[in-house]
Amino acid sequence: MSQKVGFGVRQTALAAALSIAGCAEPASWQRPAPRPVLAAPAPETPASAAVRAHYASVQAALLSESLLRTETAPADAPFTDRNLKDNFLKIALFEEYSGGQITRHGQPAPIRLLRWGEPVRVALRFGRAVPAAQAATDTARVAGYLARLAKVTGHPIALDDHNPNFWVHIATIDERAAMGPTITREMPGLTEGQLDSVTQMSADTYCQVLTQSDDMTSTYARAVAVIPSEHPDLMRLACIDEELAQALGLPNDSNAARPSIFNDDQEFALLTRQDEMMLRILYDPALHPGMTEAEARPIVETLATRLIDGNS
């Protein structure tokens, strides 16, 4: 979540496994391709084990309260075109943090509409202490989710290690603490407070995303999300869903938004149908980066009605 309590692939070292006998092979014999061997993960530290136990208890408590729901269109949470319009305006055109997503406003402050102009190229990075099986599962999850976001928004979004502009780090508490130089290279110009917010994440902050935008164009230039690898599966997946969607241009939360992951109550863990509609509105050609809430409002109202009526 963007600097709030809420909810990159592991760069697994590969070793070429190759045995050389020291004698010449027959001309007809072809050496088989070497098999990559996954590096053994670093052993879990006491600090990481403690964080893992803490998040396990957090997830258990949330589930016991019927939170972290995974339905995308629950029957008990209907919404109208007016709800969709109001929720979009609150979430896309206001923000709860100032000072580069570090200091909370007394009240959400108005902002201009922000979104990505160029393709979003996501580099996924895993810490060495993340188990290979978990890294593989999360890689598939992120790839599939990015494809879904691209389809919903109509904007190019995908895993791409060539000149990335969005880095997603999944790492242990010890690895996050040492991540400062890496994140500074990825996002030059971060303040000490911004850097601390992702490298010294408190236990009651589930994950973080920082974005940088071009003030002249109101478009995002780069982003970094940091997700604790110690999360149980559902909380880690919730972090992936929320941080990646939030960094597309939905920076705020609203307790009135339901069903939605852009709500601090943690009722829903995964991107909902309403969230998809808000992303669809955000990237509709009728809107453009830099719009104020007043400028966007009549367009958003039309788009919301069209979506609810099924004419999108």
pLDDT in tens, the chain (312 residues): 343 333 422 222 222 222 222 333 333 333 334 444 445 667 899 999 999 999 999 999 999 999 999 999 999 999 999 999 999 999 999 987 654 444 455 577 899 999 999 999 999 999 999 999 999 999 999 999 999 999 999 999 999 999 999 999 999 999 999 999 999 999 999 999 999 999 999 888 999 999 999 999 999 999 999 999 999 999 999 999 999 999 999 999 999 999 999 998 999 999 999 999 999 999 999 999 999 999 999 999 999 999 999 854
Q: Is residue 292 part of a domain?
A: yes
Instruction: Please report whether residue 263 resides in a domain.
Output: yes
| Residue 87 lies inside a defined structural domain of this protein | yes
Residue 106 domain boundaries: 81-308
Residue 40, phi then psi, degrees to nearest 5: -65, 135
The dihedral sign for the CA sequence 66, 70, 74, 79: positive
Q: Which of 98, 115, 73, 104 is nearest to 260 (CA)?
A: 73
Distance of CA 279 to the CA centre of its chain: 14
3 occurs within a structural domain: no
Comparing CA positions, the residue from 132, 206, 147, 217 lying closest to residue 173 is 206
Cα distance between residue 3 and residue 198, in whole Å: 9
Determine, yes or no, domain membership for 58.
no
Q: How far is CA 138 from the centre of its chain?
A: 12
Provide the CATH number for the domain around residue 135.
3.40.390.10
Query: Rounded to whole angstroms, how far apart are CA atoms 277 and 290?
Result: 20
Assess if residue 22 is contained within a domain: no
Question: How far, in Å, CA of 265 to CA of 238, rounded?
Answer: 13
17, 38 in Cβ contact below 8 A?
A: no
Q: What's the domain count of the chain? A: 1
In terms of C-beta density within 10 A (0-12 exposed, 13-18 middle, 19 or more buried), how is residue 40 classed? exposed
pTM here? 0.85
Angle, helix 293-308 to helix 81-92, in steps of 10 degrees: 140
- Rounded to whole angstroms, the Cα distance separating 266 from 69 reads 8
Whether 11 is covered by a domain: the verdict is: no
Residue 65 lies in a domain: no
- What is the Cα 99 distance to its own chain's centre? 21
